[in-house]
Amino acid sequence: MNIYNTLTKKIEKFTPNEEGLVRMYTCGPTVYHYAHIGNLRTYIFEDILEKGLEYLGYNVLRVMNITDVGHLTSDADDGDDKMLLASAREKKTVYEIAEHYTNEFFKDAAKLNVRKPSIVEKASDHIDTYINMIQKMIDDGYAYLSNGNVYFDITRVNDYYLLSGKNPDDLMIGVRETVEEDTHKRNPGDFVLWFTTSKFENQDMKWDSPWGIGYPGWHIECSGISGKYLGEYLDIHCGGIDNIFPHHTNEIAQSEAYFGHKWCNYWVHGEHLNDQSGKMSKSKGEFLTVSLLEEKGYNPLSYRYFCLNSHYRNQLTFSWEALDSAENAYNKLRNKIKLLDRTPNLSDKKLDYYQDKFKDAIGNDLNTSSMITLVYDVLKDDELSDFTKLYLIDDFDKVLSLGLIAEEKEISSELEEMIMVKIEERNLAKKNKDFALADNIRDELFQKGVKLIDSRDGTTYELI
């Protein structure tokens, strides 16, 4: 497999540290609000990368964190605490906020056929791990205590700016212009590992530490959780491009200071989804969520299809028109597949040919649009029996996860009756503007394996 590595700024052949096994870490969501579909573009790309590696024969051990503490509105050490803002907005504790939005995140991800990583860990569950790491970094001279906070001294590591390719002088100008300089830092670029003196006096999440009661900075959680579950040598670390600086830059500095050697070989970043006014953000009022797509009658998988038609390293601009055409193409494709004759008649002629081409598309820096083109090529190929086409498309869908082959499942009359009653109840709830109840009914059916599909002509369902 060849993949673009942000560290070397080149497409490189991928070789894991241990043959056949990929240790992969992906930064998880900050659970202070719903994920917007931009965030989810990043998780779709990571899902395809994981499944693509599996298709190529690797075992993938993937770890993701849930950021429930330490992330400020600026990715550096200033701004407000995102979780505290949410707690004030919704008049709930930060723990309630974290639990609610973590669940919502995984529900949205499931609707996009994004698989949950094998290990998912909350940042707030690993405080001892961070404390041990920070203490070692203090002992080894990489970190220092100043005015109650513990900072990482970025001048103690070589090549701090290697990943971002940034110029320290330019950065410092930006920093000085936008934020009040923290005079307790040795160097303006130093970052916080542990806060004890903080402007957030009403902080709910705080723990005892050798430096006083406080809480960890955002960056240390990913180094801590990754090291704990994936060890000292990581193969792939992913995230959206905004994570390159400062978050991933700081992760490298800490992890390499702590382990005493190079840590992660491949850094893979996904470009952003923009809306027509620019970068998508959660602070812009109504933002685009999977639920909003559903309310407007779209199948969330049309959005996955929309994302997969562009390369993960290209910016993608969202518009309703673009989603409409993706949904049309996606529905047509599924309908074509539905018409294929399912009578078993598999010929191995050309199976290898198409599977090799699919592997090439994965290996070509995760070329998802070529993977989709191959589905169309298979459908068009007159030399293949319908059953062979189904076999290949089903095989490709292990990676694409577009639900291309709808299973023909049996449905009992009781189940059908229950679904119809629920759809009626939901219609009534919507009519009464009780959208929370309507959503609960939809989620309840989803848990039972029934996916509601709203369209302009009413609500239908599909078994998942």
Which of 3, 24, 27, 323 touches ligand AMP by CB under 6 A? 27
Residue 231 C-beta: closest distance to Zn ion, Å: 17
Among 367, 56, 49, 73, smallest CA distance to 238 is for: 49
* Largest CA-CA distance found in the chain, in angstroms, rounded: 74
Does position 240 interact with ligand AMP (CB under 6 A)? The reply is yes
Does position 242 interact with ligand AMP (CB under 6 A)? The reply is yes
Does position 222 interact with Zn ion (CB under 5 A)? The reply is yes
**Is it true that the peptide bond before 246 is cis, omega within 30 degrees of 0?**
yes
Measured distance CA(362)–CA(1) in Å, rounded: 7
At residue 293, what are phi and psi to the nearest 5 degrees? -60, -45
Does position 220 interact with Zn ion (CB under 5 A)? The reply is no
Say which entry of Zn ion, ligand AMP, none residue 41 contacts (CB below 5 to 8 A, set by partner kind): ligand AMP
Measured distance CA(40)–CA(28) in Å, rounded: 11
**DSSP letter (8 states) at residue 204:** S
Measured distance CA(389)–CA(352) in Å, rounded: 13
For 38-59, letters b (16+ CB in 10 Å) and e give: bbbbbbbbbbbbbbbbebeebe
Angle at 434 between CA 92 and CA 320, to 5 degrees: 90
**Closest residue to ligand AMP, based on beta-carbon distance:** 240
Residue 269 C-beta: closest distance to ligand AMP, Å: 8
Say which entry of Zn ion, ligand AMP, none residue 222 contacts (CB below 5 to 8 A, set by partner kind): Zn ion
Measured distance CA(246)–CA(24) in Å, rounded: 20
Nearer to ligand AMP, 43 or 263 (CB): 43
Measured distance CA(34)–CA(29) in Å, rounded: 9
Measured distance CA(459)–CA(4) in Å, rounded: 43
> Based on the number of CB atoms within 10 Å of its own CB, is 433 exposed (0-12), middle (13-18) or buried (19 or more)?
exposed
Nearer to ligand AMP, 38 or 300 (CB): 38
Distance of CA 402 to the CA centre of its chain: 17
Does position 30 interact with ligand AMP (CB under 6 A)? The reply is yes
**H/E element holding 419?**
helix 413-431
Residue 240 C-beta: closest distance to ligand AMP, Å: 2
Residue 33 C-beta: closest distance to ligand AMP, Å: 8
Nearer to ligand AMP, 39 or 459 (CB): 39
Applying CB under 5 A, which part among 137-145, 202-210, 215-223, 273-281 lies near Zn ion? Answer: 215-223
- Residues in contact with 458: Cβ distance below 8 Å, sequence separation at least 6, in sequence order: none
- Kindly state the number of chain residues that form the binding site for ligand AMP, as judged by CB under 6 A: 16
Does position 362 interact with ligand AMP (CB under 6 A)? The reply is no
Which of 1, 7, 24, 27 touches Zn ion by CB under 5 A? 27
Applying CB under 5 A, which part among 29-37, 116-124, 144-152, 214-222 lies near Zn ion? Answer: 214-222
Nearer to ligand AMP, 268 or 378 (CB): 268
Among 46, 247, 257, smallest CA distance to 164 is for: 247
Which of 39, 249, 291, 299 touches ligand AMP by CB under 6 A? 39
Q: Please, what sign has the CA dihedral across residues 177, 179, 181, 186?
A: negative
Say which entry of Zn ion, ligand AMP, none residue 33 contacts (CB below 5 to 8 A, set by partner kind): none
Does position 65 interact with ligand AMP (CB under 6 A)? The reply is no
Does position 40 interact with Zn ion (CB under 5 A)? The reply is no
Contact 359, 321 (CB under 8 A): no
Say which entry of ligand AMP, Zn ion, none residue 39 contacts (CB below 5 to 8 A, set by partner kind): ligand AMP
Residues 270-329 that bind ligand AMP (CB under 6 A): 272-273, 279-280
Does position 38 interact with ligand AMP (CB under 6 A)? The reply is yes
Does position 192 interact with ligand AMP (CB under 6 A)? The reply is no
DSSP E strands in 258-312: the ranges are 264-270, 273-275, 278-279
Residues 352-391 that bind Zn ion (CB under 5 A): none
Among 388, 381, 401, smallest CA distance to 351 is for: 388
Residue 205 C-beta: closest distance to ligand AMP, Å: 17
Say which entry of ligand AMP, Zn ion, none residue 280 contacts (CB below 5 to 8 A, set by partner kind): ligand AMP
Applying CB under 5 A, which part among 25-33, 115-123, 181-189, 415-423 lies near Zn ion? Answer: 25-33
Residues 244-273 that bind ligand AMP (CB under 6 A): 272-273
Residues engaged in binding Zn ion (CB under 5 A) = 27, 222
Residues engaged in binding ligand AMP (CB under 6 A) = 27, 29-30, 38-39, 41-42, 67, 239-240, 242-243, 272-273, 279-280
